Amino acid sequence: AQSVTQLDSHVSVSEGTPVLLRCNYSSSYSPSLFWYVQHPNKGLQLLLKYTSAATLVKGINGFEAEFKKSETSFHLTKPSAHMSDAAEYFCVVSEGYGGATNKLIFGTGTLLAVQP
Amino acid sequence: ETGVTQSPTHLIKTRGQQVTLRCSSQSGHNTVSWYQQALGQGPQFIFQYYREEENGRGNFPPRFSGLQFPNYSSELNVNALELDDSALYLCASSLVASGGPTYFGPGTRLLVL
């Protein structure tokens, strides 16, 4: 079975400083990995997606993630945090399901706080 | 904003009642999934529908059931509501076999008293 582990439940950064949200995955084959963001009282928004085309994936709002097979990691980074980045972030792995894919398995989430 | 819409936005029910939640998929998407997100947790997969058939189910009891209609809209039905069913219910749509992403609706927040 596939799974993801988010290593930090809370991360606090100052505005303008780098962001690092850590995620490790477990998969018996090459996984499809995602990062989603959830702002308060909002739905989930896809930040970026990895599907083996390139190990460094660029997403929206300046976020990017690097797939490292040797470390089974898929950490999310951003060079400079903005106040609007404060939200909950989920690392997600896709599990194929019969002929149709897209069963998503979510991590427990990392709450990012951005201090002024 | 995605093209996935859900109704209602909020709902209050009492234990033992039944509830129906609705979802309209993003245009062109033929697969719909439902997720339950309890407070402070990540979403949990309930089930997925493809071509109006259930095609995958998570660890949820049979009192959670669903439908997908020819226009790809969907319903989630929960019978015999329990207090632990209080959660945010998220609908997600995707296009199977496209390799494309899954888009989520804003959710329906259900409170069971």
Q: What are the pLDDT digits (tens) for B82-95?
A: 999 999 999 998 87
Q: Which residue has the higher pLDDT, B3 or A7?
A: A7
Contact (CB, 8 A) for A108 and B44: no
- The token pair that represents A60 in the structure block: 């929206």
Give the H or E element holding residue A6: strand A3-6
pLDDT reported for residue A96: 65
Task: Identify residues of B whose CB sits under 8 angstroms from chain A CBs.
Answer: 2, 4, 31, 33, 35, 41-45, 48, 50, 55-56, 58, 90, 92, 94, 96-97, 99, 101-107
- pLDDT at A101 exceeding the cut of 60: no
Interface residue A49 vs chain B (CB under 8 A): yes
- Range in B16-25, B58-67, B94-103, B104-113 the model is least confident about: B94-103
Q: From the CA of A107, how many Å to the nearest CA of chain B?
A: 6
Residue-averaged pLDDT of chain A: 90
* Counts of helices then strands in chain B (DSSP H, E): 0, 11
Residue A100 and residue B103: Cβ atoms within 8 Å?
A: no
For residue B82, what are the contacts with CB-CB under 8 A and spacing of at least 6? B15, B112
Task: Please tell me if residue A109 touches chain B, with a CB cutoff of 8 Å.
Answer: yes
Predicted confidence (pLDDT) per residue in A56-95, tens digit: 999 999 999 999 999 999 999 999 999 999 999 999 998 7
Q: Is pLDDT at B102 greater than 50 in this prediction?
A: yes
Mutate to test the interface with B, among A51, A57, A102 (most CBs of B within 10 A): A102
Omega before residue B8 within 30° of 0, cis:
yes
Under 8 Å between Cβ of B30 and B96: yes
pLDDT-derived band at A41 (thresholds 50, 70, 90) equals confident
Computed over every residue of chain B, the mean pLDDT equals 91
| b/e burial code for range A21-39 (CB count within 10 A of at least 16 → b) | bbbbbebeeebbbbbbbbe
pLDDT tens digits, one per residue of B46-77: 999 988 888 889 999 999 999 999 888 999 99
Nearest-CA residue of chain B relative to A38? B106
Q: What is the arithmetic mean of pLDDT over B8-26? A: 95
Does the pLDDT at position A51 exceed 60? Answer: yes
